[in-house]
Amino acid sequence: MTDDWTEADLDDEFPLGDGTADTESLVTCPHCGEANEIALDPGSGSDQEYVEDCHVCCRPILMYVRYGPDGSADVDVYASDS
């Protein structure tokens, strides 16, 4: 059995953009208040959740990353105890 993709199916599944997506973001550590530049991985999906340590105080930061259709990333950060 083969999948017959139409142009409309492809456009729905893989919307065209300018081919760019945010690959970094500046966030504020919820523990110490210092700015942290973080790397983003658009290839990991449009909705992501992970923990990264603050570059200043080394405490864990819970990150929620959501990519929009235009490749822009919305990053929310929270204090993490894990």
Per domain, the residue ranges of the chain are 20-79
Side chain identity, residue 46: S
Cα–Cα distance measured from residue 73 to residue 67, given in angstroms and rounded to the nearest whole number: 4
Is the per-residue pLDDT at 19 higher than 70?
Answer: no
- The tens digit of pLDDT for each residue in 22-79 reads 999 999 999 999 999 999 998 888 999 999 999 999 999 999 999 998 889 999 999 9
Is the per-residue pLDDT at 1 higher than 50?
Answer: no
How many CB atoms are located within 10 Å of the residue 36 CB?
18
Per-residue pLDDT, 58: 96
Per-residue pLDDT, 82: 65
Tell me which long-range contacts 72-79 makes (C-beta under 8 A, separation of at least 24): 72/21, 72/22, 73/21, 73/22, 73/25, 73/40, 73/42, 75/25, 75/27, 75/38, 75/40, 77/27, 77/28, 77/29, 77/30, 78/30, 79/30, 79/31
